[in-house]
Each structure stands twice: as C-alpha cells, then as structure tokens.
C-alpha cells in the first residue's frame, strides 16, 4: 500500500489450499485500505459467470478522483476467460491512479492450472501463501468463541483439523447448532476436553460440504472416486489399496492421489480427519445401498489382506450383511478379543454380536461365540451375560466345554441369581447326582439322574471332586473341578446341610489357619467355604479373621473385580474384625480401579471399604467412602443399566445400607433408596431387607406396624435362605428402635436378646459389645448395669474404640444415675476416647468434598453448652483443633485473619475454655461425642 501511494502499481497473489483463510486475508486488506483512504473494489470468480464484474458495467476502471485503488479478486481460478483477459489488460495499463491488485487463488483446484490464471500468477510482484494455524493460533480462534483449551486439547484440535481455519469454524458451527456450547463451557475443563468429539459426531455444515464439492469440481472422475473410497476406508491406507478399492489402475491411482495432495488432502494418511469425515458423508449419500455394501465388503477384504489392525476392519463389517464374506466371523472374534484386552468392552460386544449374525441359531459355532460374548459382558451387563451363557450351553456338545463356560461366570452371581445358576450348573454336569469329576483325561459326563438332587447328595459328590483336586499334581481339569465346586456350594447356601458340609470341606481342604500357597481356584473355593461358615454361624470370628487374612495376603488386589471371590472375602473380614488387612487390600484395589477408569469397580471397592470402616468403628471414613460410591455409580446417560442397584450388587447394597443406618446419613439413605427402587425387583434377600429398612424414616406413623411386620417377615425369609449371620446384616438390631417407637419394648428386647446370643456364638467382640450396650440401654435397674459392664469388658478385647467409648459413656451415666462410685473415672475414659476419635472425625469434616450434583453439607451443627455452633464456627474450631495457625485457618476459609480471631474469641466464651489450649481438646471431645450419639439407639447413652 505504501508503494501504491507513492505512484506505483503492484500485483500481489495470495495462494493456499482450500480453507486456509485467503478470503479472510482479503477482508483484512479491505479494512486496512479503507482506513488509509484507498478506493476499494472487490470481485469474486464464479463458474456461473462469463465475465468478472468490476463495479458498474462500462469502463474497465471506475472514476476514483485521483485516489489510489485496491482491487481485491477472490477465487481467481474460477473466473472466465473474458474476466481474466480484462484483468491482464488492466495490469498492462493501470491508468493514471495508483493500483494495488490483490488476487486470491486456491491451490489444487483444476482451473488453477489454466494459462490465464498462471499468466497472472507469474506477473505477481509478491506471492503470499496461507498456511495452517499452529496450536497458539487455534487457541486464539477458539478463544474468540469463549473456549479455553489445555495443551493436549489444542494439539488434538490441531491433529483433527490440520490447523485449517475453515474446518475449525465448521466444528464451532456444529456446536452452536446443537445449542450445547454454553452448557459445556459452564461444565468446566472436562467438558472442553469433550468438545472436539461432540462436534465431530455431528453432520458437517452445508457450507463445508459445498466447498469440498467445489474443490473437486473439474478434476477427472478418478480423483472423486479415490477421495470417496479413501473417506469410506476410514484411516491410513497405501495408495495402491485405495486404487484397487476405487477400481483404478496404478497410474490412475497415483495421479488422483497427487491431485488430492495438491488440495492438501492426504488420502493415504487420512489427514486432516475432519475433512475426510465430510467427504465420507457426501460419498455415502451419493451412492446406492448396494454399492455401499459392496465397497465396505471390498474394504474389509483389502484391509484384511494387507494386515491392517483388526479394529480397522470393524466399521466395515458392521456395514456388511451376514454371509457376504466367509472370514467375517473369525476376524470379528479376533478383533473382539484384541479390543477387549485393550479395555474397550463396548466395541468387543459389538464385534461379537455382529459375528453371531453369520451362523444359524442352532450351530455349535454360535454357542462358542455366545460364550465369548458372555465373557466380555461380565463387567458391562451381568444380566445379558447370564442370558447368553444360558443360550450357549445347549449349543456346546462336549461337557468340558460347557463346564469351562460356567466356571468363567463370576463367582458371586451364583449367589445373587440362584435360578439361573442352577440351570447353568445342571447343563455343565455339576448339578447332577454324580457331577463331573476331573481326571488327567478330558472331563467326562456323568449319567443323568434326578433333575433336582438334594444339596447333601451334590456335596458328597463334590467331595469326590475335591479329593481328586488334592493330588500333588495340579491339572487343568482339577482347577476346573475346584471352580465348579465353589459355584455349586455357593448356589446351595440356602440348604442348612450344604452349609454344614461346607465347613467340613474347609476343615479337610485347609485344616490349619495358614494352608500354604495355593492356586487361584483353590483360594476361590476356600473363600466360598469361609463365607458359608460365616452365613451359617458355624465358624468362629477368630478363625474367620485368620483365614481372611491369609486369603487377602495371597489374592492380588490388582486383579480385583466387581463380582469376584474378593467380595466374599471382604464381607467376612469386615464382620470378623480383620479390618486392617482388608483396608490395605482395598486401598490397592481402589487405585487399580482408578487407573482403569472403571467406575463400576470403583463403586464396588468404595462401598466395601465403607463396610470395613463402619465395622471397625470409623464412621467418618465410612460415610465419606459411601458418599463417593454413590456419586460414582454410572448415570443413565453413560450406562442405562447403571443408575440402579439390583440383586447382583447385594454387597454394595449391604455396605451402603449399613453406613446409612449406622451414621444416620439421611442423604445417603435417600439416594440409596431411590437407586434400589429402580432396581430389578430386589429378589435377593439383602436388597429386599435394605429397601424396607431404608423406608422406615419415610413411612407414615399409621403404616409403621405393617412395615415392622413386613420387615420381620423378610428377615425370617432371609434367614431361611441362608442369611443367618446377624453381624453381617444386623437386621434384628435395626428393627429394635422401630419396635420401641411403636410401644413394643418386649418385642425389641426379644430381638436384642436373640441378636446377643448369635453375636456371642460368632465371637466378634465389637458386634457382641454393641448388642450388649443396646440391650443395656433399653432395660432398667441392676440388669442394665450388668449388661453394660459386660459390654465394656468385651469391647476392651476389640480394636473398635468407638463402640468402647459408647459403652463407657452409657455405663458411666447409668452408674452416676444410680449413685454408684467410679462413674467419674469411667466417663473420663470415655472422654479420652471421644477426644482421640474426634481428631479423625474433624479431618473428614473439614476435608474438601468432591464436586457432585448430589453433594450435601459435610457436617451439621453439634449441640454444645450455650447453643449450637454455626458451620463457620465449626470449621474454625476444627481447623484450630487440628493444629492450624490463625493465618492457615484464614487462608483455608477465604477470610481475614482478624475474622478468625474474632470467631475464636466467641468460641472461648461459648465453650467456657481457657484459650487455644483448652479449645483443642474440647472441640475434639465434642466431635467424638457427636459420633457417639449417631449410631443405632445411641441416643440412649
């Protein structure tokens, strides 16, 4: 422009591949020229026009009154010959006024190579080539639309678009069209990371598709065919493969590929991906369904022959009908196996379901595929898995094959789905009178007997199986026998004789508490036998604790699964007070679940950790884990079946219900009740009992008697089904407050007495001491003191200091009311325990809560002398009690140091303490006593 203003004329050519911003460059030139008093004239080439209009028809150049002129010509390659001739003449004789002509030419378009366009380009004084945006340029462009990207996100956008501004803007148009941009921005950085995928999932805007079509116009037909086939192929491929798919000879294929490279489209590398998405949409709409199937089938064959990764073949197989390619089923199964090992369960399921379409409903190959599909569905959809196992077994001819399929079904499902389990075991040969006995030879089939044998008959037959498995040599058949035995025994726990036989089998399988190293199948069977002993109350707590410690030491936490044997081990460890090894094992399992990004497993592990914490007397930890578990249960948008809890999740239900009841967490109870109500019928006794227990706070007073009767009846049915351990699921203890509320103290005392007898028989000190304390707070007189004294004595043998503190408080208060000596010493000991317990509670109360749409306040007010502390006062007091300075406390709460000092002055006065030294133990005691009063019947302390 400076040169033009001094009297010269210049020609500048702006080039670049499609979408690189040539038109935007001309727009910027026009704005700058107007600001410097240039006369701006604009024109655009078009195939629909024979001439190139330059202002009004008439003279080649309009009157400009001596001012310099900027002539901007966009898409010069599309101008007709008359227009190009006029431009050439204008360059030769620009006239008296200064002229700056700026022309934009699209590289790669067919007309760019015409002589008229090349003559103008060769006469240019300067050529400016527009290139792709870098990551900073992409950030700036998206920043204009309110989107802030992290480094990895900016690189992802750069890879997807090749830095092409038009492609980036097309993605923004899709987001705006969805009207989701504002909502995703409010959702934070995690939503920004999903913006690219969200935009690419939407159809390309018409403006982009028209520009893609225009870029291909004029090229030979072979170029469009190669582009369409490259788009349909969906990834990197050598040019000769693309040429074969497009029915081109090698020379035609190479020429077409060079033409696409000229446009900036790398067909062999499939870059930029967003551009090829658009080409694919246009190609699929422009061909018939028959041609589309032919191309996808041919693409699958070519990719398979070239050794392409299996996942590249999947999209093409999904578009091909059954029977079109003989290799389809085999390749799809291999692909499913590869992607499953890589963690993509959803894609593996799609592959196997597509492979099933290749076989008739009664073929053995279909049975094999159904079994493979069931394996993949173990963690994704347990109901579908059981259904597909049931469909696969009749199609498999050999008993060993059927037995192997059943042995791969996750263990705990044989407890939660007894009817399906019975049918599977029957078809596998393990539910007959003489079940399959593993030998060195292939597994043989037993002669069919009565369809419904007694549990004792099955157990005696399984003893023969176990005898074979105890040989020194460990064979595959012996391992299979142990796994089947574990599943048979677990499915028959409703039979008392089966539970008794399980304990006898445990004594022979592992006579001592430390049985030595064993295989995974042996540990699985031991877990079932220990669990059977716990449910039936036939194993003492000390032996259960020893055996679960051994199992947890030898079971790798990195192999934790949602429905594996470890679920039973953790349940046994929790009630037997083996909390420390269980907690260490669960910590490792939780880290594994987080590394896998497995939300289902994370939910299961968190709930089991909460169960362990509540039985160990750590209610604050239990409550935090239980709330996080509820927050991580998959929602319906990600997993339609994941927003409810059903029979297969019985241990999660048991854990969360225990925490909700024992801590009095109404938010957790309501959340859990809603999820249970959405479940599949609560056929499992645990789920049915939990739903009734959680209904108590919401039931009207007049309906409570019916609910109490229904709850006790459900408890009796659960016991008849084998759930006889009231330490694992203390429904008697939970029913007692309801009967007291209904004015039936005799009924409540009967439940507590029965619960006490069972706890005494099981021998877990915490469960027995708690029941004795509850019983002692319901009765009156000397008998109450006797029960409370025994409770304190029992709990001194336990690691559960919370229950000891509660019993000491109740015992000391009753002694003081009765005028007995020694109450002050007992209450002082209770205060020391409360102070020690309060430290852990305070750390949980002030810890930052994870963001959740269902979050609730971390703690409420606690009664103190002179009123109830506000939440702010509690936070100040908690931070100070945990050793924070005034400055640290102010920074943590986002207030001034002066505000903290004023709060502390009020706290000293309200709590009647002498400065910080008196505040710290007082606040800790208050927190501990608040927890003392949060349990079942704890208000009677």
Q: Give percent of the chain with pLDDT exceeding 70.
A: 85
> How far is Cα 870 from Cα 868, in angstroms, rounded to an integer?
6
Task: Give pLDDT tens digits for 262-298.
Answer: 988 988 888 899 999 999 888 888 888 888 888 888 8
Task: Give pLDDT tens digits for 540-566.
Answer: 999 999 999 999 999 999 888 888 999
The answer to whether residues 273 and 160 touch, using CB atoms and an 8 Å cutoff, is: yes
DSSP 52: -
Largest CA distance in the chain: 122
Other C-beta atoms closer than 10 Å to the C-beta of 54 total: 20
Closest CA to 810 of 785, 843, 783, 840: 785
Task: Give pLDDT tens digits for 813-870.
Answer: 999 998 899 999 999 999 999 888 888 778 776 665 544 444 444 444 444 443 467 7
Helix axes 801-817, 782-795, angle to 10 degrees: 150
Tokens of residue 606, six digits:
């968190």
> How far is Cα 679 from Cα 685, in angstroms, rounded to an integer?
14
The answer to whether residues 846 and 879 touch, using CB atoms and an 8 Å cutoff, is: yes
> How far is Cα 431 from Cα 398, in angstroms, rounded to an integer?
16
Other C-beta atoms closer than 10 Å to the C-beta of 224 total: 21
DSSP 266: B
Average pLDDT of every residue of the chain: 82
Other C-beta atoms closer than 10 Å to the C-beta of 823 total: 17
pLDDT of residue 458: 40
Task: Give pLDDT tens digits for 864-911.
Answer: 443 467 777 888 888 888 888 999 888 888 889 999 988 898 888 888
Please say if the pLDDT value at position 432 is more than 50: no
pLDDT band at residue 635 using 50, 70 and 90 as cut-offs: very low
Helix axes 520-535, 455-469, angle to 10 degrees: 150
Task: Give pLDDT tens digits for 578-603.
Answer: 999 999 999 999 999 998 888 888 99
């Amino acid at each position: 422009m400076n040169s033009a203003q001094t009297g010269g004329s210049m020609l500048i050519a702006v080039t670049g591949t499609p979408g690189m911003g040539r038109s935007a460059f001309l727009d910027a030139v026009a704005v700058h020229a107007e600001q410097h008093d240039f006369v701006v004239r604009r024109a655009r080439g078009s195939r629909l026009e024979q001439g190139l209009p330059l202002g009004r028809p008439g003279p080649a150049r309009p009157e400009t009154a001596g001012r310099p002129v900027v002539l901007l010509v966009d898409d010069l390659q599309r101008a007709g010959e008359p227009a190009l001739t006029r431009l050439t003449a204008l360059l030769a004789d620009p006239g008296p006024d200064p002229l700056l002509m700026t022309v934009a030419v699209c590289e790669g378009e067919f007309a760019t190579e015409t002589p008229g366009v090349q003559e103008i380009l060769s006469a240019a004084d300067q050529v400016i080539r527009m290139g792709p945006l870098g990551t900073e340029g992409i950030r700036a462009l998206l920043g204009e639309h309110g989107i802030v990207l992290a480094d990895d996100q900016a690189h992802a956008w750069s890879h997807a678009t090749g830095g092409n501004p038009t492609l980036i803007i097309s993605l923004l148009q899709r987001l705006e069209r969805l009207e989701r941009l504002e909502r995703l921005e409010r959702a934070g950085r995690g939503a920004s990371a999903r913006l690219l995928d969200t935009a690419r999932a939407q159809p390309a805007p018409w403006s982009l598709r028209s520009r893609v079509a225009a870029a291909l116009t004029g090229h030979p037909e072979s170029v469009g065919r190669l582009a369409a086939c490259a788009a349909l192929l969906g990834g990197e491929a050598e040019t000769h493969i693309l040429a074969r798919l497009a029915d081109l000879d090698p020379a035609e294929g190479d020429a077409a590929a060079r033409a696409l490279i000229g446009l900036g489209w790398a067909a062999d590398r499939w870059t930029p991906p967003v551009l090829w998405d658009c080409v694919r949409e246009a190609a699929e709409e422009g061909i018939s369904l028959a041609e589309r199937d032919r191309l996808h089938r041919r693409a699958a064959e070519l990719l398979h022959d070239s050794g392409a990764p299996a996942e590249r073949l999947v999209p093409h197989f999904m578009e091909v009908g059954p029977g079109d390619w003989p290799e389809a089923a085999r390749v799809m199964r291999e692909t499913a196996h590869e992607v499953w090992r890589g963690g993509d369960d959803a894609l593996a399921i799609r592959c196997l379901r597509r492979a099933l379409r290749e076989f008739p409903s009664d073929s053995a190959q279909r049975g094999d595929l159904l079994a493979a599909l069931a394996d993949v569905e173990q963690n994704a959809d347990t109901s579908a898995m059981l259904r597909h196992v049931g469909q696969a077994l009749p199609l498999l001819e050999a008993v060993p094959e059927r037995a192997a399929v059943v042995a791969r079904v996750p263990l705990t499902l044989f407890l939660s789905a007894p009817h399906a389990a019975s049918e599977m075991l029957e078809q596998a040969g393990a539910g007959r009178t003489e079940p399959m006995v593993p030998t060195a030879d292939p597994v043989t089939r037993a002669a069919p007997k009565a369809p419904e044998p007694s549990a004792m008959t099955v157990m005696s037959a399984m003893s023969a199986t176990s005898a074979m498995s105890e040989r020194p040599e460990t064979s595959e058949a012996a391992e299979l026998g142990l796994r089947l035995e574990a599943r048979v025994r677990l499915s028959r726990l409703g039979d008392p004789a089966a539970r008794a036989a399980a304990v006898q089998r445990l004594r022979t399988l592992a006579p001592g508490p430390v049985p030595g190293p064993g295989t995974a199948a042996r540990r699985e069977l031991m877990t079932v036998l220990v669990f059977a002993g716990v449910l039936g109350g036939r194993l003492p707590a000390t032996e259960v604790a020893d055996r679960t410690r051994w199992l947890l030491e030898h079971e790798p936490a990195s192999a934790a699964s949602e429905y594996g044997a470890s679920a039973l081990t953790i349940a046994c460890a929790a009630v037997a007070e083996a909390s420390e090894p269980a907690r260490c094992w669960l910590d490792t399992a939780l880290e594994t679940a987080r590394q896998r990004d497995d939300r289902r497993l994370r939910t299961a592990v968190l709930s089991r950790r909460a169960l362990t914490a509540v039985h160990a007397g750590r209610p604050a930890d239990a409550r935090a884990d239980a709330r996080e578990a509820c927050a991580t249960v998959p929602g319906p948008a990600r997993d339609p079946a994941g927003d409810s809890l059903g029979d297969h999740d019985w241990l999660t239900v048991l854990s969360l219900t225990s925490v909700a009841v024992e801590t009095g967490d109404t938010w957790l109870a309501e959340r859990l009740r809603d999820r249970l109500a959405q479940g599949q019928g609560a056929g499992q006794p645990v789920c049915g009992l939990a739903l009734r227990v959680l209904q108590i706070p919401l039931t009207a007073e007049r309906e409570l008697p019916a609910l109490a009767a229904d709850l006790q009846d459900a408890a009796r049915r659960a016991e008849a089904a084998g759930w006889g351990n009231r330490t694992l699921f203390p429904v008697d203890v939970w029913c007692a407050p309801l009967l007291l509320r209904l004015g039936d103290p005799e009924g409540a005392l009967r439940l507590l007495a029965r619960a006490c007898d069972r706890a005494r028989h099981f021998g877990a000190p915490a469960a027995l001491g708690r029941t004795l304390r509850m019983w002692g707070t319901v009765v009156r007189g000397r008998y109450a003191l006797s029960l409370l004294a025994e409770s304190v004595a029992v709990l001194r043998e336990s690691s559960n200091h919370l229950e000891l503190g509660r019993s000491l408080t109740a015992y000391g208060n009753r002694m003081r009311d009765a005028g007995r000596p020694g109450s002050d010493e007992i209450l002082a000991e209770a205060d020391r325990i409360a102070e020690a317990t309060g430290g852990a509670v305070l750390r949980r109360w002030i810890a930052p809560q994870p963001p959740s749409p269902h979050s609730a306040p971390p703690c409420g007010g606690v009664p103190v002398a002179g009123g109830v502390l506000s939440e702010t006062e509690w936070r100040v007091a908690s931070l100070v009690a945990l050793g924070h300075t005034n400055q640290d406390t102010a920074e943590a709460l986002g207030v001034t140091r002066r505000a903290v000092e004023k709060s502390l002055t009020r706290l000293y006065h309200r709590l009647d303490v002498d400065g910080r030294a008196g505040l710290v133990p007082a606040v800790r005691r208050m927190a501990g006593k608040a927890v003392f009063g949060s349990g079942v019947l704890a208000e009677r302390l």
